[in-house]
Amino acid sequence: MSIRRNLVSLIAGALPIMAALFLWYAVCALKLAPASLLPSPVTVFTRLIALAGDTNFLTQAGITLFRLFVGFAIAVVLGVSIGILAAGSRAVATLMQPVVRVLAPVPKIALYPAFVLVLGFDHSSKIALVVADALFPILLATYQGAAAVEPKLVWSARAAGASPAKCLFTIVLTAALPSILTGARIGLIIACIVVFLAEMITSTDGLGQMLVRAARNFQTVDMFEPIITITLLGLLLNAAFNVLSARLLVGFAEQP
């Protein structure tokens, strides 16, 4: 019953994706659009496979991944510690809340020119943008999750002899893990997107710059490759994150 339903929904879900790909193929095959504007999916995916062995392409992807991971890691460390501290201390929460209220809806991309001016065109300005963008979902999720932790869980640990600080960084942190991971996954995808955009804006290197260079040279096929690559990376990271979450969250109730 459930297997059949899963199979049916799998087919239903594959339909629109297949249809879009087929439409793309048909438009090209029927020459409704010039190949210089819309290359056929066959060309695009053959080229992608060829690129998978291309050193330059892999180097550029590596640069993008490096910035993505460093920025994301910093955002996780900052977001989780500030969020947990704010949940544990009223003073920190009072300080943090108005600042976050003002900064969270600010388009961080607008800060990018400032990052470039201060940190230069290299890694650090892009990493700074990733941190600024990924930080808030993680921080807010951590704070909300930690603030919603059942106090009796903390009391049980306190009565057993754990100090308040120890409770905060063991019990509260772990109990808030489902929420933290939700925020971190959102932050990860945002980091993925933002690092690419930053590379497009100051096109020095990385996958984003490959897209801009291809656009300048009107190499339409090469414009598709970085976009598809970063999307696949996002999907892959998302899937990996889900596997990691499932491992970390044994014992917790199923997440919706």
Q: Which of residues 192-211 bind another protein (CB under 8 A)?
A: 192-194, 196-197, 200-201, 208, 211
Scan residues 141-180 and list those touching another protein (CB under 8 A): 141, 144, 150-153, 155-162, 171, 174-175, 177
To the nearest whole angstrom, how small is the minimum distance from the Cβ of residue 42 to another protein? 18
C-alpha to C-alpha distance for 16 and 32, rounded to whole angstroms: 21
Can residue 14 be called a binding residue for another protein (CB under 8 A)? yes
Nearest to another protein of 168, 230 (CB atom): 230
To the nearest whole angstrom, how small is the minimum distance from the Cβ of residue 84 to another protein? 16
Q: What is the 3-state secondary structure (H, E, C) of 114-125?
A: HHHHHHCCCHHH
Half-sphere exposure of 25 (CA within 13 A, CB side): 9
Scan residues 212-241 and list those touching another protein (CB under 8 A): 212, 215, 218, 220, 223-224, 226-227, 230-231, 233-235, 238
C-alpha to C-alpha distance for 52 and 229, rounded to whole angstroms: 10
Scan residues 41-60 and list those touching another protein (CB under 8 A): none
To the nearest whole angstrom, how small is the minimum distance from the Cβ of residue 102 to another protein? 5
Quote the tokens at residue 179.
């929420």
To the nearest whole angstrom, how small is the minimum distance from the Cβ of residue 73 to another protein? 18
Count the residues in the chain. Answer: 256
Site string for another protein, 71-100 (x = CB under 8 A): -----------------------x--xxx-
Nearest to another protein of 78, 103 (CB atom): 103
To the nearest whole angstrom, how small is the minimum distance from the Cβ of residue 29 to another protein? 18
Residue 112: how many CB atoms within 10 A of its CB? 21
Among 48, 73, 78, 111, binds another protein (CB under 8 A): 111
Q: Give rounded-to-5 percent helix, strand, coil for the chain.
A: 80, 0, 20
> Is 250 exposed, middle or buried (CB count within 10 Å of its CB: 0-12, 13-18, 19+)?
exposed
C-alpha to C-alpha distance for 120 and 114, rounded to whole angstroms: 9
